[in-house]
Structure 1
Amino acid sequence: MPSTVASSRRTTQRLRRAEPLATVLPVRPWVVAPSGPVGDTAQRRARVRRALWRLALQGIEPTIAPDVWRKDGYLAGPDPARVRALVEALNADHAFVWAARGGYGAMRLLPALDHLLKVRDKAPLFLGFSDLTAVFPLLVRKGFRCVHGPVLSQVSDLVESGPAGFTSLTKVLKSHPIPPLTFSTPDPWFGDEIEGPLWGGNLTLCAALCGTPYSPDYSGAILFLEDVGEPAYRLDRMLTQLELSGVLQAVQAVLVGDPGVRGSEKKAVEQRLHLIRERWGIPVLTGLPIGHQRRNACLEVGRTVKLSATPLKAGKTNITIRWV
């Protein structure tokens, strides 16, 4: 009998400890596809399935909007359908609106979004990167919080830990504050701490928005950039576009993620970045853990940040991004 009572007590204690788990509701970000097709190939469908499985293990169960699976050539459906889906999602009570994939097509929606979206005091957070760079400045102007971070289809490839991995993403999806980000760079830092709004994202889209009403005000900003699949000469051309449009003269610093090039192409890009550093007298710092590979840290676009530097051995420097 005593052993039975003791066993019963242990069982009760286990049940009591388990009770709170039963009351935790899953996190349900709303997934939209403003850009390229999501399920048009077996490989893309498999990436989404793996992402959903990985997220479910952490209590995150995205709701896939019905139009996500549409296809219209290289777009995830006709422009009106993608506009409608995104506007409905942003005007609803979702805590998070999450892009399923990049690709191309978001900038085609800008005039309609500008017309249909009203300025909001309390708005959902929009998460994405790559082609979604196009909508960030407009959404921030409308009162939305925008986070440059992994799209749904990238989740299955992310490393597990670290500030740019899967664990960090899940914390953001569960409404934890975005933590400060520290990364190491071999590039020179000069001057004191730098404070300014954080703007940028995909270099192709930043360059494409130059000269349009949908480009942000880069005055005093900290610019961050990444890209994928572009040869060095095209990256050079887009950096030159930023230069000719006055962006690089206006910003206080440039942070560079994965440019998507390797070998001699990477060396050519590094030389171009060095020229920007010397010509405009600003820090140009590589090593930011963002991009299309296995690391993609979350950065809130349009928010004021402070950059500080800590010298390391072997000529490297730790750069820390803190939210103000």
Structure 2
Amino acid sequence: MSRTRRQFLKTFAISAIATQFPHVAIANSSPQTILQPPRLKIGDTVGLINPASPIDAKDIEEVKQTLANLGLKVKLGAHILDRYGYLAGKDSDRAADVNAMFADSSVQAIIAVRGGWGCNRILPLINYSLIRQHPKILMGYSDITSLLLAIYAKSGIITFHGPVATSTWNQFTVDYVKRILFNGEAATLQNPIYTGENLNQNKSRVEAIAPGKARGILLGGNLSVLAAMVGSNYLPNWERTILFVEEIGEEVYRVDRLLTQLKLAGILDRIAGFIFGQCTDCDPKGKEDSLTLAQVLSDRIQPLGIPAWYGSSIGHIKDKFTLPVGGLVEIDASKNIIQMLKPAVSSL
């Protein structure tokens, strides 16, 4: 079979599968269908990019072993070890690595090595049309939120809020990666249950904000990164979506400020459901008169009258979900469950 014919059949199959998904407006053009990237398979090559903060060479060796244990090969971005102050290289070079990995036919999926800061800076340099022509799994979290949301909004491809390459790839985390990215399951996402003596139950602490069920497209990521994108044209349509957020190292008053920004921007008034994952190291420091996070969530979210809860396994924690950004889900705030209604990857 000729290469041209193989590409035609691949494009036709992806388009056929994509008709099962809703439509979104992409890059100021007419609405287009959301695409599922092809699923991961044993023996596939993962492209490693570092679009935010710098890393050391020793980190790469550990990452290679981690992915090899999953049966995956690795291809490094050309600028993966670059440094430019607190950034992993110049903006143009970091963006070039993103574009190159999507264009590279030998690469089947792309994973960010780490987060930090820097992805917002490269959003204008990403080739969104090229990415739509070559749909692939893109996964990461924290600062990678920028790329996940922008590529979904501009290219119409489901992306994945999940572990970066330097995360803790424990059994819980790997299980969801395999079920969602390899097996193509429409998985049920539910927090781990900790049993036995001397285990810190706060790790799985869940607090209800408002009960109920809701369906919608799942969107979100790191709260401060998301707030920093407000006002740009790299955010998706929020109408009747399920918003999830997580945070680290922000005191409660700052979380209040960030959520208030989303409220004033009109985002919170448009969503159908809300999930706050984990707020790691967000306790007030030496401020006895601080509001609690529960009080802030009650003030900002409860009046919306939508299903919502705090404490999902999302964020800067060891036990992480893999979440389809742009996938159709149903949430049950009473049971703290996220149910995928469709697979997020295609069987190609």
- So what's the TM-score if we normalise by structure 1? 0.79
Structure 2 residue 275 is matched with structure 1 residue 255? yes
Structure 2 residue 48 is matched with structure 1 residue 31? yes
* Matched residue type, 1:321: Q
Deviation string 1:192-247 (CA, Å, 9 cap, x unpaired) is x3111111100011101111111221111100001112222221111111011011
Corresponding residue for residue 314 of structure 1: none
In the TM superposition, 1:1-40 aligns within 5 A as 26-39=43-56
Change (3 A) 1:190 1:172: closer
Deviation string 1:78-130 (CA, Å, 9 cap, x unpaired) is 0111111111111222220111111111111111215x644625511111111
Deviation (angstroms), 1:55: 2.9
Structure 2 residue 188 is matched with structure 1 residue 180? yes
Deviation string 1:35-89 (CA, Å, 9 cap, x unpaired) is 11121xxxxx555433332332332232222311111111111011111111111
From 134, 140, 159, the counterpart of 1:128: 140
Change (3 A) 1:67 1:251: same
* Segment drifting more, 165-174 vs 88-97: 165-174
Deviation (angstroms), 1:290: 1.2
Identify unmatched segments of 5+ residues in structure 2: 1-40, 192-203, 343-348
8 A contact 2:103–2:134 mirrored in 1? no
The CA distance in 2 between the partners of 1:230 and 1:46, in whole Å, is: 29
Greater C-alpha Rg? 1
8 A contact 2:251–2:282 mirrored in 1? no
Corresponding residue for residue 62 of structure 1: 74
- So what's the TM-score if we normalise by structure 2? 0.74
8 A contact 1:133–1:206 mirrored in 2? yes
Corresponding residue for residue 17 of structure 1: none
* Segment drifting more, 231-240 vs 263-272: 263-272
From 106, 111, 117, the counterpart of 2:119: 106
From 52, 61, 75, the counterpart of 2:64: 52
8 A contact 2:248–2:316 mirrored in 1? yes
Secondary structure of the corresponding residue to residue 298 of structure 2 = helix
Dislocated runs of 4+, deviation >4 Å: 45-48, 170-173, 262-267
Secondary structure of the corresponding residue to residue 120 of structure 1 = helix
Corresponding residue for residue 292 of structure 2: 268
8 A contact 1:196–1:221 mirrored in 2? yes
The CA distance in 2 between the partners of 1:104 and 1:178, in whole Å, is: 32
8 A contact 1:178–1:299 mirrored in 2? no
8 A contact 2:132–2:157 mirrored in 1? yes
From 161, 178, 187, the counterpart of 1:148: 161
The CA distance in 2 between the partners of 1:26 and 1:118, in whole Å, is: 25
Identify unmatched segments of 5+ residues in structure 1: 1-23, 40-44, 312-316
8 A contact 1:37–1:69 mirrored in 2? yes
The CA distance in 1 between the partners of 2:216 and 2:159, in whole Å, is: 16
The CA distance in 2 between the partners of 1:55 and 1:243, in whole Å, is: 40
The CA distance in 1 between the partners of 2:271 and 2:79, in whole Å, is: 38
